Chains A and B, each alone.
Chain A
Amino acid sequence: DVKVTQSSRYLVKRTGEKVFLECVQDMDHENMFWYRQDPGLGLRLIYFSYDVKMKEKGDIPEGYSVSREKKERFSLILESASTNQTSMYLCASSLWVSGDTEAFFGQGTRLTVV
């Protein structure tokens, strides 16, 4: 059974802080993704990675960066947290197989920036 684990369920950070959100998957998936989920906006892709040290911008990368030093771990970094980054963050992983494979999601991290 695929397991995608995010390090925190809830986080409260101050404006201007550097924030790290960690995600680990245990199924040797090549692809990993970070989404944010906001009411009425659905899930929006921030960044994705298809291999170690490889990353691509998604639809809303501004204010975020990522790190993938190991295949199983994908980190989302908020360089200087702002209140408009208060959101639910979801990590996902999938196999690299012709684009038609299921993405498995972590349980989410609800980040509040005050």
Chain B
Amino acid sequence: GENVEQHPSTLSVQEGDSAVIKCTYSDSASNYFPWYKQELGKRPQLIIDIRSNVGEKKDQRIAVTLNKTAKHFSLHITETQPEDSAVYFCAARSGGGADGLTFGKGTHLIIQP
């Protein structure tokens, strides 16, 4: 099955700086890579996703890049703000629409004032 590795487990950045979280996956058949943000005590929410036929996707301060050859994808957050503090999970889905997502172990992003 799929295996997703996520790094770092904790990331502390100064407010206004950029943050980068990296994930690798093992199954070359994986074709969908979402990123979820989970604030303390709340459910995970999708913030951005990318499909295997796209190399990069951007949504305001958030961008995701995908390198299918190397089997890794990254989340980039620019101009970080206090409300970006949360746990971020990457995930990968292989196979058809019924397969569950395989998640990374999460990154706790801390924005220092």
Contacts and interface: CB of A to CB of B under 8 A. Distances in A.
A97 B97 CA distance: 5
Contacts, number: 73
A42 B6 contact: yes
A28 interface: no
B101 A45 contact: yes
Majority secondary structure of chain A interface residues (helix, strand, loop or mixed) = loop
Contact of A99 (B6, B89, B95, B104): B95
Contacts of A33: 100-101
B98 A42 contact: no
Interface in B28-64: 31-32, 34, 42-46, 49, 51
Given A42-B6, A43-B44, A43-B89, A103 B97 contact: no
27 contacts: A30-B97, A30-B98, A33-B100, A35-B103, A40-B9, A40-B105, A42-B105, A43-B91, A48-B99, A58-B100, A59-B102, A94-B97, A99-B31, A99-B94, A99-B96, A99-B97, A99-B99, A100-B31, A100-B49, A100-B51, A101-B97, A102-B34, A102-B46, A103-B34, A103-B101, A106-B43, A107-B42
Interface of A: 30-31, 33, 35, 40-45, 48, 50, 56, 58-59, 90, 94-103, 105-108
